[in-house]
Amino acid sequence: MCNQNGFTLWFTGLSGAGKSTISEIVSEELRRRGLLVEVLDGDVVRTHLSKGLGFSKEDRDTNIRRIGWVCEILSRNGVAAIGAAISPYREIRDEIRGRIERFVEVYVECSIEKLTERDVKGLYQKALNGEIKHFTGVSDPYEPPLTPEVICHTDGRETPEQSAAKVLAKLEAMQYIPAT
Which residues are catalytic, by number?
87
Stretch that binds ligand ADP, among 128-136, 139-147, 150-158, 170-178 (CB under 6 A): 150-158
User: Using the rule CB under 6 A, is 19 a contact of ligand ADP?
Assistant: yes
User: Nearest distance from residue 2's CB to ligand ADP, in Å?
Assistant: 29
Q: Which stretch binds ligand ADP (CB under 6 A): 12-20, 49-57, 64-72, 138-146?
A: 12-20
Nearest Cα residue to 96 out of 72, 113, 125 = 72
Looking at 163, 168, 171, 176, which residue binds ligand ADP (CB under 6 A)?
Answer: 163
Rounded Cα distance between 161 and 150, Å, is 15
Nearer Cβ to ligand ADP, position 94 or 119?
119
> Which residues are CB-contacts of 179 (< 8 A; sequence separation ≥ 6)?
172
| CB of residue 4 to ligand ADP, shortest distance in Å | 26
Return the residues of window 59-118 that contact ligand ADP according to CB under 6 A.
108
Question: Residue number with the shortest CB distance to ligand ADP?
Answer: 18
**Distant-in-sequence, close-in-space partners of 102: CB < 8 Å, separation ≥ 6:** 5, 6, 7, 8, 75, 174, 176
C-beta separation of 76 from 12 below 8 A: no
The 3 state secondary structure assigned to 49-90 is CCCCCCCCHHHHHHHHHHHHHHHHHHHHCCCEEEEECCCCCH
* Phi, psi dihedral angles at 23 (to 5 degrees): -65, -30
Which residue in 16, 83, 88, 148 binds ligand ADP (CB under 6 A)?
16
Residues that bind ligand ADP (CB under 6 A): 13, 15-22, 108, 120, 152, 154, 158-160, 163
